Structure 1
């Protein structure tokens, strides 16, 4: 790792580690088998969002072995633990996600849940646990001029929307993703900076400081009237035809969107009738409407609503449109150099790449909600193969997938908090929030809307 110095770069521009950073990396390497075993256990027992009870239990137990007690059942399954540094100061949250994806044809699917870790979230929480192993060491802890929060969070993937809507109706949750719920519950009020990780299916050390789309979700129901499709179609009201008109109406509006708004509208249909000889009386659509800014995707969402109404009016079907808040656009920070430095230490000569604020992704995530309220630092590492969100995902290099993120998490926290936490304070001082917490809640609540149109069929006149 090079000559030890108190500086964070050498004269050649290379990152140099100090004795505490050497201690962090050595401590994590000494427990690499424990970290890999933890990650493999989570990999083998994947669970879906807001249902990660076993994962939360294992995460809590691992933190306890580091001498940390936790708050549990936060936003259903979330787990939070705080490490106090030498003095009170900024609070750095190392965050990992608990949930997996419903990919039943993955060779690594959990047969009890139908879930598989094909987005590598198990690597995130293994990284958080590995970082806790190092940062809780007495000599490391006393070098921290601030606090570190270790947070395992539920439900990053915005899936099983109908189930989550039922959970909302039952009062179990209010919003569809874990971080959104945690913000609503004030669980991050004592956090100043959040650090997040993402797995990659290539060998990569990436500073992920790009912007991303936000989105809103629509749950649509067309209510028709069943009838014999061959013998008595005149007395049916076909909800499948209503959905077909609505989907076509969405598609013909795509050219109306500004290219720079990066609008994406995608969805699925379900319940298109029970048999071919029965007029469909209940068809459901789900849509996600994404865009670069809140204003742009909310404008596109209005056009989707209009298209749904068109299908209902044209066929006489009844209609309900339930709007659910999704995730907000990710806001990059101005200076993510501390992430690059940590990556360069661990990469050991492998080039570190960066997607900066001038790069935009059309994907979304609930880190966007956090980034609107506080600074967000993110990084990607490899160790996986295949294609994310597909059954082809495999763990190619367990050390790279699980141990290296632990080092990077810990090094970022230490670099932010050493020397009076000057780096953390710099990131905080430069950050300009997009929303206040009050404004965030008001925005989310404004999107929880349901619209109804009654059925209004025009039946063919009776004939003699």
Structure 2
């Protein structure tokens, strides 16, 4: 362990109580995506305490502060997510809105501010060739369509925080991103190093249009939109054997409106759906099949299916453990660690996927929690593994990326082939919706 690593670890340990208090405070006041005003203010407050000058109001609530190293070089962004998840049954749910940090985003923010405290400590920033952008971003969790539409009238065009920040230039000048999360797949180790593949998704609203009639005396004169929706759901179910196992396709649906009155043939039925898959190609294929099933099921009964497609999240591109992660974990011998392996797949989705299509993402996940994500039983069981260790990992990883002329950061950047430029990403997303 070199002298700078020792300073980083000592700085985090010296601020342990501050970090734990911050984690608990954020955890008790969760806020929904794009409305994380209190959370953003608390992050900005701690960043100012590090001697930094944060920008605020990025994509409504995002907070960004840049620490300059001792020499020029790449910019590594340390990412933390501001929002919670709607989970009113959670014991720590915010009574004002029913939102809870049942996905551990308060742990991410603690890692972010802990890394800022450590990397801004005397003798640390000077060892960096480049800069570190501490970036608290809004709205990783799914934002309902109605809320999205209201936000679009206020200038928020894209559906999630990282996507909107890519659109508005918040990531301009950032060369690679550092992300973390509580474990998202089963893992017995304290740390899982590398990018596990995650599904992407697209959102659908299908409006089935039929014809109203008296359900008892003249059903033959009507066209039952609910029957059309039911037939479509059966057709979607029968599509399962057409999906490859490796594409991990999932389609989940909900009937939001199912008819106006029991004695009237349903004229309008609204179904919402989320189509997920492991790659952009598989996602396009599954979405086309879903659309076809709905369209022709409706036609078979004389109804019409109006299909509205909305932006979702892109899949996370898998990547092995970055050497900087391995070096960081080696400085924490009290923690067990394993590396992400090919074939590991998270069936859920995250907007980190969008970043991974545009820039290198260096990711690790961590333990210290119990219970299922997004559920009332999710809980932190070990504050050191959930809050303190990730802060050390973030700071150490940034240091190893940017030390010695930023050789590991440059190697990471040189080995990355983006799927999209910022401009082509924006064009692709706009075509989705």
User: Shorter-chain-normalised TM-score: which range?
Assistant: over 0.9
1:97 aligns with 2:81: yes
Matches of 1:321 and 1:72 in 2, distance apart? Answer: 37
1:341 aligns with 2:324: no
Matches of 1:59 and 1:229 in 2, distance apart? Answer: 58
Matches of 1:341 and 1:281 in 2, distance apart? Answer: 62
Matches of 1:240 and 1:206 in 2, distance apart? Answer: 46
Contact 2:196–2:318 (Cα < 8 Å) also in 1? yes
Corresponding residue for 1:136? 120
Contact 2:190–2:385 (Cα < 8 Å) also in 1? no
Matches of 1:242 and 1:394 in 2, distance apart? Answer: 42
1:399 Cα deviation (Å)? Answer: 2.2
2:176 is aligned, of 179, 193, 199, to 193
Q: Deviations over 1:27-67 (max 9, x none)?
A: 11111111111111111011111111111111111111111
1:42 is aligned, of 14, 26, 29, to 26
1:227 Cα deviation (Å)? Answer: 4.3
Corresponding residue for 2:159? 176
Corresponding residue for 1:63? 47
Aligned residues: 430
Matches of 2:230 and 2:146 in 1, distance apart? Answer: 21
Contact 1:344–1:352 (Cα < 8 Å) also in 2? no
1:75 aligns with 2:47: no
Corresponding residue for 1:7? none
Q: Secondary structure at the match of 2:73?
A: coil
Aligned 1:271-350 pairs, distance under 5 A: 271-333=257-319, 336-346=322-332, 348-350=333-335
Matches of 1:190 and 1:21 in 2, distance apart? Answer: 26
1:413 is aligned, of 376, 398, 405, to 398
Contact 1:209–1:357 (Cα < 8 Å) also in 2? no
Contact 1:333–1:375 (Cα < 8 Å) also in 2? no
Q: CA RMSD in A?
A: 1.9
TM-score with structure 1 setting the length: 0.88
Pair member with larger Rg: 1
1:325 Cα deviation (Å)? Answer: 2.1
Corresponding residue for 2:379? 394
Matches of 1:126 and 1:349 in 2, distance apart? Answer: 20
Matches of 2:246 and 2:126 in 1, distance apart? Answer: 48
Corresponding residue for 1:446? 431
Matches of 2:69 and 2:39 in 1, distance apart? Answer: 27
Unaligned runs of 5+ in 2: none
TM-score with structure 2 setting the length: 0.94
Corresponding residue for 2:228? 242
Shifted more, 195-204 versus 116-125: the winner is 195-204
Contact 1:343–1:408 (Cα < 8 Å) also in 2? yes
Sort the Cα spacing of 1:30 and 1:337 in 2 relative to 1 into closer, same or farther, 3 A: same
Matches of 2:217 and 2:72 in 1, distance apart? Answer: 78
Q: Deviations over 1:313-363 (max 9, x none)?
A: 2333343211112122212345512112212322x2443111134433332
